[in-house]
Amino acid sequence: MSTQPILLGGVEAGGTKFICGVAAADGVIVDQIRIPTTSPDETLDAVAAFFVNAQSRHGRLSALAIVSFGPLSLKPDAPDFGAITSTPKPGWSDVNLLAHLRRFIDVPMTLDTDVNGAAVGERLFGSGQGLESFCYVTVGTGVGVGVMIDGAPHGGANHPEAGHIRLPRAKGDERYSGTCPFHGDCLEGLASGPALQARWGAAAETFSHDHPAWPMAAEYIAGLCTNLTYTLRPERIIIGGGVMQPHMYDLVRQALVRQLGGYDASLRDLDTKTYIAEPTAGVSAGLIGALALAYRSVTGEWPKDWATQGQDQIGLEMVDATGIEPVTPSV
C-alpha cells in the first residue's frame, strides 16, 4: 500500500462550463477552477493543464472522476469507452474525454453521467441523504435522469436515458412535433427548456405563473415520475433544472397523484411533498459527486464524514480559465 495521502480530482463537465476541483480525503477542496466550454480541444487542454499544475502544487492525484453531459460510452470494454457519443452539442460528438485527458495525466480515471454525479452529491449533502434508492432528474436544456439503486449509480449495458421516454400527449398539445433531434416528441422534445421555447415562442423564464406552458410541462414531468415510480419504486424523486421553478413542484405533485390513479395501496398514501423534492446540495453537487466517485474508486467506499462539513467549506471562490499555464502532452 502506498503511504501517500489520498488526493482526489473531480470534473463536472457541462455544456457551458467545466468545473474542476482537487480535494483531500476529507472532502475539503484545495483547488478549484471553472473553465468555459468552447471547442473540445481547447476546453480539455485547459482541464488537463489545471490538473497537471495542481499536481505540481499538491502532489500526485490518487484518482480523477469526471461526470459529464452525454450520452456517454461507459462500458469499459466498449471500443469508444470514455467518449461523449451522439450529443446535439456541436463539435462534441465522439469526443473521448478520458483518452484526451490521459495524454496529459497518468492517473486512474472514472467517468459517469452528470445526473449520476448530482445524485451522488445529493446523497452526501442534499435531498438524498439517508436514502439508498432514489432518482435525480434535471429538466433544463435537456432532460436527464440519474438512478441510485442500493446506494450506487445504476448502469447496465450503459447509463439509463429516461429523459427520452415516450409519453401520452397532454391535452391541447397533440400537434406539436417536439424538439428532440432524435425522437421529436419524446419527453425532452416536449418539456425541456428549448422545447418550451419552441412550443410557445418565448423563453420559459419569461412566462407568468398562470401561463398554460407550466401545467402542460408538469403533466409530462409527472409522466416521467409515474414511469419511474412503477419501474423502480424509488424512495424519492429529486427534480432540478431551469424548468423546475418553485411553483412547478406542486403542479408536478398534483399531476402525479392524478396519473397514479389510486392504484396500489402502498402508493395511495404517498406523501408527495417529500416524494417529489427539490435538490438541496447546492450548485457544487456535481463536482462533489465527482470527487466522491473518485474517493470510492480509491477506497471502495463512499465518503462517510464529508456530510458533517456542510457545503460552506466546499464553495471556494471560482476562478476562470484565463491564467492557466498550458501544458504539453506527456504521452
Which of the ranges 78-86, 128-136, 160-168, 196-204 carries the binding residues for Zn ion, by CB under 5 A? 160-168
Which of the ranges 40-48, 125-133, 173-181, 241-249 carries the binding residues for Zn ion, by CB under 5 A? 173-181
- Residue closer to Zn ion by CB (options 124, 187) is 187
For residue 71, say if its preceding peptide bond is cis, omega within 30 degrees of 0.
yes
- List, as one string, the DSSP characters of 254-295: HHHHHHHTT-SHHHHT--HHHHEE---S-TTHHHHHHHHHHH
Least distance in Å: CB of 138 to Zn ion? 15
- Residue closer to Zn ion by CB (options 47, 190) is 190
Least distance in Å: CB of 161 to Zn ion? 8
Of all helices (H) and strands (E), which one includes residue 296? Answer: helix 285-299
Task: Report the alpha-carbon distance of residue 91 to residue 86 in Å, rounded.
Answer: 10
Cβ–Cβ < 8 Å for 329, 104: yes
| Residue 59, SS3 per DSSP | coil
Beta bridge partners of 52: none
Task: Report the alpha-carbon distance of residue 219 to residue 303 in Å, rounded.
Answer: 37
Q: Candidates 186, 204, 251, 314: give the one binding Zn ion (CB under 5 A).
A: 186
Least distance in Å: CB of 75 to Zn ion? 21
| Residue 160, SS3 per DSSP | coil
Least distance in Å: CB of 183 to Zn ion? 4
Residue appearing with cell numbers 501544458: 327
- Residue closer to Zn ion by CB (options 152, 198) is 198
Binding status of residue 164 toward Zn ion by CB under 5 A: yes
Task: Report the alpha-carbon distance of residue 325 to residue 48 in Å, rounded.
Answer: 10
Binding status of residue 183 toward Zn ion by CB under 5 A: yes
Can you read off the three cell numbers belonging to residue 105? 495525466
- Residue closer to Zn ion by CB (options 75, 183) is 183
Which of the ranges 4-12, 38-46, 151-159, 175-183 carries the binding residues for Zn ion, by CB under 5 A? 175-183
- Residue closer to Zn ion by CB (options 177, 274) is 177
Least distance in Å: CB of 165 to Zn ion? 9
Binding status of residue 180 toward Zn ion by CB under 5 A: yes
Residues making contact with Zn ion (CB under 5 A): 164, 180, 182-183, 186, 188
